[in-house]
């Protein structure tokens, strides 16, 4: 079904936001230090920033508080409803669009200083199409910084720590939990695939970061939830971060 992911997030947004209580912060994901630690984005004052797969826009709001002009796009109207309320509570303005980030028709070419995404791109079926459009909307020298689930993490059982899935087994993964009408779908891509998709779309990759998840970061809202067990986080990175640049 084409919109499994949208259906999932429309149904799960409320519970997800209540369960995680994500702080207003530029975060990168489970088991990862935040932007204050990594300093990948530089000074945000006056910068045009597009956040793709913005969810509740906790990152976008933190960026707006630092003086950036932020646009957020998400496939889920429920997530955007939450984001709109949260922006209002935090007294910042961010522009929000509902759409599939596989394409970015809402955004003008060469208009953005930074495109940012935290933990959303593993839900996108066509990463080539997405990266091509991210390249189009970035200004020359613009930054594309994103994080997603580290592909090594999902090879192991989070409780027994036994390897259950091959690292080489890539592609669509579908999970059904208590409600059989809703499917949790993500796309597993290896580190090489992710790097090469960036390069094939014209990006220069400046950094790949594998955050050390052996330590608990006080601001990490996902630590201990679902598969983010302290046992497995001690053994493998849960998150991977890419910093790439449009150099031409």
Work out whether 55 is an interface residue with ligand SAM (CB under 6 A).
yes
The only residue of 30, 31, 33, 53 in contact with ligand SAM, by rule CB under 6 A = 53
Q: Tell me if 32 sits within 8 A of 211, measured CB to CB.
A: yes
DSSP state, 101? T
Judged by CB under 6 A, does residue 26 bind ligand SAM? no
Q: Which residues pair with 146 in a beta bridge?
A: 117, 242
* Residue 74 binds ligand SAM, judged by CB under 6 A: yes
Rule CB under 6 A: is residue 100 a binding residue for ligand SAM? yes
Work out whether 22 is an interface residue with ligand SAM (CB under 6 A).
yes
Bridging pattern class, strands 203-209 and 48-52: unpaired
Q: By CB under 6 A, name the one of 118, 156, 198, 238 that touches ligand SAM.
A: 118
Q: What is the DSSP letter of 125?
A: S
Does 72 contact ligand SAM by CB under 6 A?
no
Applying CB under 6 A, the site for ligand SAM has a residue count of: 21
- Strand, coil or helix: 230: helix
Q: Is 223 in the site for ligand SAM (CB under 6 A)?
A: no
Vertex 223, ends 220 and 229: CA angle to 5°? Answer: 160
Site membership for ligand SAM, residue 9 (CB under 6 A): yes
What are the two backbone dihedrals, phi and then psi, of residue 50, each rounded to the nearest 5 degrees?
Answer: -105, 125
Shortest Å distance, C-beta 114 to ligand SAM: 14
Assess 79 for contact with ligand SAM (CB under 6 A): yes
Question: Under the phi-then-psi rule, with left for phi > 0, alpha for psi from -120 to 50, and beta for the rest, what region is 87?
Answer: alpha
Q: Does 101 bind ligand SAM (CB under 6 A)?
A: yes
Residues with Cβ within 8 Å of 13's Cβ and at least 6 positions away in sequence, in order, are 76, 78, 79, 81, 82
Check binding of 213 to ligand SAM (CB under 6 A).
Answer: no
Of 65, 69, 81, 102, the one binding ligand SAM by CB under 6 A = 102
DSSP H/E element including 70:
strand 69-74
What is the smallest separation between the CB atom of 84 and ligand SAM, expressed in angstroms?
13
CA atoms within 13 A on the CB side of 247: 9
Contact between 149 and ligand SAM (CB under 6 A)?
Answer: no
**Per this entry, what is the length of the chain?**
248
Q: Strand pairing partners for 144?
A: 115, 244
Q: Which of 26, 62, 114, 119 binds ligand SAM (CB under 6 A)?
A: 119
Q: Which of 26, 94, 123, 239 binds ligand SAM (CB under 6 A)?
A: 123
| Binding footprint of ligand SAM on the chain (CB under 6 A) | 5, 9, 22, 53-56, 58-59, 74-76, 79, 100-102, 118-120, 123-124
């Amino acid at each position: 079904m084409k919109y499994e992911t949208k259906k999932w997030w429309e149904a799960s947004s409320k519970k997800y936001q209540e369960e995680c209580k994500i702080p207003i912060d530029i975060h990168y994901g489970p088991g990862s230090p935040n932007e204050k630690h990594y300093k990948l984005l530089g000074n945000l004052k006056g910068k045009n920033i597009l956040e793709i797969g913005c969810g509740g826009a906790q990152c976008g709001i933190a960026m707006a508080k630092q003086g950036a002009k932020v646009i957020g796009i998400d496939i889920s109207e429920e997530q955007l409803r939450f984001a709109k309320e949260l922006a209002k509570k935090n007294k910042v303005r961010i522009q929000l669009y509902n759409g599939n980030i596989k394409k970015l028709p809402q955004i003008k070419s060469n208009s953005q200083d930074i495109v940012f995404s935290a933990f959303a791109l593993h839900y996108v079926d066509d990463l080539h199409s997405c990266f091509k459009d991210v390249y189009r909307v970035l200004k020359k020298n613009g930054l594309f910084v994103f994080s997603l689930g580290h592909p090594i993490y999902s090879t192991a059982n989070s409780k027994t720590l036994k390897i259950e899935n091959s690292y080489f087994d890539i592609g669509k993964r579908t999970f059904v939990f208590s409600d059989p009408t809703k499917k949790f779908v993500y796309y597993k891509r290896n580190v090489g695939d992710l790097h090469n998709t960036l390069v094939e779309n014209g990006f220069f990759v400046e950094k790949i970061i594998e955050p050390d998840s052996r330590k608990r970061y006080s601001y990490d809202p996902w630590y201990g939830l679902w598969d983010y067990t302290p046992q497995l986080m001690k053994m493998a990175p849960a998150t991977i971060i890419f910093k790439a640049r449009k150099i031409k």
